[in-house]
Structure 1
Amino acid sequence: MTTLAPTIARPSVDPERWPDVARVPPRAKSAVAAAVTRSIFRRAVRRLPLRVDMPDGVRLGGAAMDPAAPTMQIHDPSRLMRRIGTSGLIGFGESYQAGEWDSDDLAGLIAAFASGIDALVPAPLKRMRSAYLARQPRADRPDPHNSRTNVERHYDLSNEMFAQFLDPTMSYSSALFERADEDMVTAQHRKIDRMLDQAGVRVGSRVLEIGTGWGELALRAAQRGARVDTITLSSEQHGWAEQKIAGAGLSDLVSVRLQDYREVRGEYDAVLSVEMVEAVGLDFLGTYFASIEGTLAPGGRAVIQAITMPHARVEETRDGYTWIHKYIFPGGALPSTRMLDDAAGEHGLRCVDDFAIGDSYAETLRRWANSFADATETLEALGFDEVFRRMWTFYLRYSEGGFRSGYLDVHQLTYTRENA
């Protein structure tokens, strides 16, 4: 006998704040797309190591009988399929925001989907998707006119919000773990110190940091006796970093500037940049490396930490507009290591060290997501409604799943001049 699932309380969606989460494609206009999506979805999950529980009690998936498998609980399959059918993975994420499906292991579920991503959509539909899926808005293109707005839409949300899930260093990038049980501050400092060591930062070094974050790398470099210029487009991060540096008594060694990387002039012994290249955009990788090369002193070193995707996937999706673009990182793009090396090489830079730390990012994101979940009451008091909290939960767990599956990776890359 089939047992109906209990009614699930869904978040209240403010249509003015979340118009596309509140808006579901009408049945009449999305019936064919939903039917095709339903067929593809059912066929795909049969081959994946996950479980899908439908509201009528039907259980699907390649691990349907495995109680330990990551599970997707679908509360409203009609709405989910209509959203995916009309807007692809944007609809998949918006459906989660709307509470139309849940998971007991969201990161594991995403990792399972990512493990079979090449087979999820038939080849003929992949070729057609550019005709019906959204394109990146011109206003999001990370050129000199839009970059500051793009940064503000993410990093200027609220320092208090970020403080709820980041560690005390306020480092918003992958840590570097040696053991699973060590604390985040130790792992974050290990990441930073390795970059400083690779760049040869010591007493008297002239250091440029592209992308300040909340100031921990600049602080750590100054504690070595280096003189640091660090740049950001986020006014929230700028203010926080200045206060942090002043509180440590190092303002005479660190200058925090509101400045675009394209505007930097000067000569530096070391140039460092932590997970900022993702905001540059694929079309501007050459500009980014030209800025690094143009400021790097003879014999100097540049070290960047970059989130990457496999080259074939970058090429396949480079013109796409995703849920991450729409709700988290407008204008962002993940490069491949091949693209980074090619762009660097065109501007006289050679990679002399490539250190991958993807497993550490999976652990970093797991801890962030857990801390974010633990801060529900505080986040609500700060004015972040349930749809926002589900959005960030999806983003953090989605990213964790990407690193767990190997679909995403992160590299510390050290560059010198070709003629060094």
Structure 2
Amino acid sequence: MAKQRTTNTSDALGQLKWLTPENVGAALKGLPLKVQAALRAAAHLPRGTLTITTPDQRIFKVGGKASGPDAALVLHNWNLPRRAFSSGTIGVAESYMDGDWESPDVTTFLELFVVNNQIGETIAGGTNWFVNTVQRLRHWLNENTRSRSRKNISAHYDLGNAFYREWLDPTMTYSSALFAEGANDLETAQTTKYRALARNIGITRDSKVLEIGCGWGGFAEFAAREIGARVTGLTISREQFDFATERMRKAGLSDKVEIKFQDYRDETGKYDHIASIEMFEAVGEKYWPVFFGKVKECLAPGGSAGMQIITINENSFERYRKRPDFIQRYVFPGGMLPTPEKLKSLGRDFGLDLYRESIFPQDYARTLAEWRERFWGSWDKLKHLGFDSRFKKLWEFYLYYCEAGFRSEYIDVRQVFYRS
């Protein structure tokens, strides 16, 4: 339960004032209209608490009857409510990057509005029709044709291998780890994830394996070295291709692993097994059937495929697909998360039987928290690579935002396994 509160509405600076639906009108007189609207909505918060310090040093607190995140927000000016109302999560992110606001725990602040979804939509739903239209158009222009896919992937993954090497673990794995029993550090947990995927796919010695979206080669190296599989890895990131190719050469695995700079749509080989780790999110909704059709085409009869995919809950999907969010604007242009049901229906449509799945969103929340700490710890080195303070705030918000989504289980991550 939330803490007992009074309805004191004193205007003394620095004195905390609880806002309730009953007293909120009197307490907010004189504040900008967008701020008043945001705080009126927040006063109906059903879960958790939020303490807000305003630019004029007034302190408001809102809270629901049910337990939930205990968050704090410090406004340096009045821009956040206006930008949130206008542009949704993109506005919230840009406001953070511009220094309009801060929080001692940004993840918890964002999580509060995820678990209080209706209030979050009221405040940060992005109500400006022109802004929303521009964002939808921008997302449409990032559609993942063959040529556009390379540009979209390059926007994120070709920041440079040196950038990612500074804060990823030694396996150079940029996807959720699996913190199973005994996997208490990030590197071990990433290997545990690889092992679970390979085991449930059924990869054995000399299996012929296709990996769609091989990244920097972590899974391909694991499957070849630890199991003895023969792996073909596909990537459309030039930086990843160069790194993974050299990685296999140094590991003495060039005879077992071939890295190809190639779009998955151009693959024509037949394979015993197919693996794909957090690549499907970048495919784009229009091309989901194309992806599953290619998996079916490239699997030998009786073959199996395993994918690790981030999904969004069914109830939120329609609104999400109509209104591009911060991730689609700044981090993964052209991307789209599927729902769990969509993964099942796509499998059925292409004769792929989904025979097993495992779900581990809290492992992703932990992975993101560890990445954030490693990113902060590497910032002095990253600055010397040419990244500025605004870029730092963009990446901070990205990691906070995703962690909040997984902690609240608004989104999750799962490994899904199909048989041909």
SS in 2 for 1:306: strand
Corresponding position of 1:388: 391
Is 1:203 the counterpart of 2:205 in the alignment? yes
Does structure 2 retain, via aligned residues, the 8 Å contact 1:55–1:76? yes
1:81 offset after TM fit, Å?
2.6
Go from structure 1 to structure 2 and tell me whether the alpha carbon gap of 1:106 and 1:203 turns closer, same or farther (over 3 Å shift): same
Corresponding position of 2:102: 102
Corresponding position of 2:73: 72
- AA of the residue aligned to 1:2: L
1:237 offset after TM fit, Å?
0.6
Corresponding position of 2:148: 146
CA distance in 2, matches of 1:136, 1:196: 39
Does structure 1 retain, via aligned residues, the 8 Å contact 2:344–2:354? yes
State which drifts further: 219-228 or 176-185.
Answer: 176-185
Does structure 2 retain, via aligned residues, the 8 Å contact 1:238–1:258? yes
Corresponding position of 1:40: 38
1:126 offset after TM fit, Å?
6.4
SS in 2 for 1:146: helix
Alignment of 1:160-239 (within 5 A): 160-178=162-180, 182-223=184-225, 224-239=227-242
- AA of the residue aligned to 1:153: A
Corresponding position of 1:409: 412
Does structure 1 retain, via aligned residues, the 8 Å contact 2:41–2:122? no
1:321 offset after TM fit, Å?
2.1
1:232 offset after TM fit, Å?
0.4
CA distance in 1, matches of 2:41, 2:119: 10
Deviations 1:372-397 (A, max 9, x none): 11122111111110000000000001
Of 2, 10, 13, the match for 2:13: 2
CA distance in 1, matches of 2:295, 2:285: 16
- AA of the residue aligned to 1:305: Q
Corresponding position of 2:287: 284
Go from structure 1 to structure 2 and tell me whether the alpha carbon gap of 1:414 and 1:195 turns closer, same or farther (over 3 Å shift): same
| Percent of matched pairs sharing the same residue | 36
CA distance in 1, matches of 2:147, 2:129: 26
Does structure 1 retain, via aligned residues, the 8 Å contact 2:88–2:126? no
- AA of the residue aligned to 2:173: S
Of 302, 307, 310, the match for 2:310: 307
Does structure 2 retain, via aligned residues, the 8 Å contact 1:209–1:229? yes
Corresponding position of 2:364: 361
Does structure 1 retain, via aligned residues, the 8 Å contact 2:87–2:128? no
Alignment of 1:82-97 (within 5 A): 82-97=82-97
Does structure 2 retain, via aligned residues, the 8 Å contact 1:3–1:56? no
Does structure 2 retain, via aligned residues, the 8 Å contact 1:41–1:120? no
Deviations 1:193-213 (A, max 9, x none): 111111111111000000011
Corresponding position of 1:267: 270
RMSD: 2.3
CA distance in 1, matches of 2:189, 2:204: 21
* Greater relative contact order (Cα < 8 A, sep 6+): 1
Go from structure 1 to structure 2 and tell me whether the alpha carbon gap of 1:84 and 1:116 turns closer, same or farther (over 3 Å shift): same
Of 387, 395, 401, the match for 1:398: 401
- AA of the residue aligned to 2:74: Q
Go from structure 1 to structure 2 and tell me whether the alpha carbon gap of 1:374 and 1:262 turns closer, same or farther (over 3 Å shift): same
Q: Which sections of structure 1, spanning at least 5 residues, go unmatched?
A: 5-33
SS in 1 for 2:85: helix
Go from structure 1 to structure 2 and tell me whether the alpha carbon gap of 1:92 and 1:347 turns closer, same or farther (over 3 Å shift): same
Corresponding position of 2:111: 111
Deviations 1:117-160 (A, max 9, x none): 2333359x969665651214243111223101000000001211
Of 329, 332, 341, the match for 1:329: 332
